[in-house]
Amino acid sequence: MELSTAALISTAAGCRSAEPESAFTKPINKKIVLGFSQVGAEGGWRLANTKSIKEAAPLANVQLRFTDAQGKQENQISHIQSFIDERVDVIAFSPIIEKGWDAVLHRAKAAGIPVVLTDRLIDSPDTSLFTSSIGADFIAEGNLAALYLSQDYADRGTQVNVVEIQGAAGAAPTKQRAEGFLEALNRKPRMRLVDKEPGDWTKASGAKAMRKLLDRRSDIDAVFAQNDDMGLGAAEVLEEEGIKPGTDVRIVTVDATKAGMTALAAGQLNYIVECSPLIGRQLMDVVVDIYLGASVSKRVLSKKIVFDQGMAQEALPDRVY
């Protein structure tokens, strides 16, 4: 089913860029110590995610031990081991890649320290290694990117050549956004994914990937960039080559950062699937519930919405990331 304008408006109704309301009224007699290992600071989304977590912690009476893995799994494993040695109450981390966590998480389990995954998932047959995970449905994000992009070519009678700029290899959002995008795109007549190129979530990597794709193909109709920063890099390269982004080549991205929304409002991008970084309050609610022995959901989903140009223009004044 094609998505109508009315459906777009309905989807948007009631959605805001701020975090969900949270009262934090549970009785806690001591500060809960949370060890958190962040992926890094690779772009606007990640910086907003870090800010959200740091601001939410004191509101929930949580003492945050925050570390930055600088994009290296070995750093993150070392951080988790340090949290285990310190005997923190809860460990949370955003996994840099999907595989390679079983050994350190078994140590956390043996120490009786619950683990919460944020933003990303791990690939392990033992789901008991983490108590809960908080983040987006990456497959659904890919689905939505393909569905909204395909609307613009519904009346076209010839093949539409689409290329994809993917995120860092081995990361859950890279794999699952690609899977969801291709799944939905293959259901649309004439829409074809003809090439793809890896990036690392940064604007510079998006620009580099776009140059490589243009070197290989001169017949690109549309780009799916797996995050805003890479999409912005792709748009700059297209402009340098005399190709008007958003018009000559249509671009859909994921995240909805302020920089991405600004480009969308200006017509340089066409659609953005939101993947909100503002999960700090959700994380602290889960941490508090775990500490108090309450039941928690194995999977807590963050909200999402798809923005077009008009919606971006309306949302920008109140955008906080």
Angle subtended by helix axes 228-240 and 203-216, to nearest 10: 50
- Give the model's pLDDT for residue 29: 62
What six digits make up the tokens of 274? 């939101």
- Give the model's pLDDT for residue 311: 97
Q: What is the rounded distance in angstroms from the CA atom of residue 137 to the CA atom of residue 316?
A: 24
Give the H or E element holding residue 66: strand 62-68
Which of 132, 110, 113 shows the shortest CA–CA distance to 122? 132
What residues have CB less than 8 Å from 211, skipping those under 6 apart?
Answer: 237
The SS3 assignment for 295 reads coil
- Give the model's pLDDT for residue 102: 97
- Give the model's pLDDT for residue 260: 97
pLDDT in tens, 125-140: 999 999 999 999 999 9
- Give the model's pLDDT for residue 262: 97
Complete domains list, the chain, with CATH: 18-135+278-302 (3.40.50.2300), 138-274 (3.40.50.2300)
- Give the model's pLDDT for residue 15: 35
Considering only the C-alpha atoms of the chain, give the largest distance between any 2 of them, rounded to a whole number of Å: 66
What residues have CB less than 8 Å from 297, skipping those under 6 apart?
Answer: 132
**Total-model pTM:** 0.81
Residue 61, class by beta-carbon neighbours within 10 Å (0-12 exposed, 13-18 middle, 19+ buried)?
A: middle
Low-confidence ranges of the chain (pLDDT < 70): 1-29
- Give the model's pLDDT for residue 10: 32
Q: Around Cβ 11, how many Cβ atoms within 10 Å?
A: 16
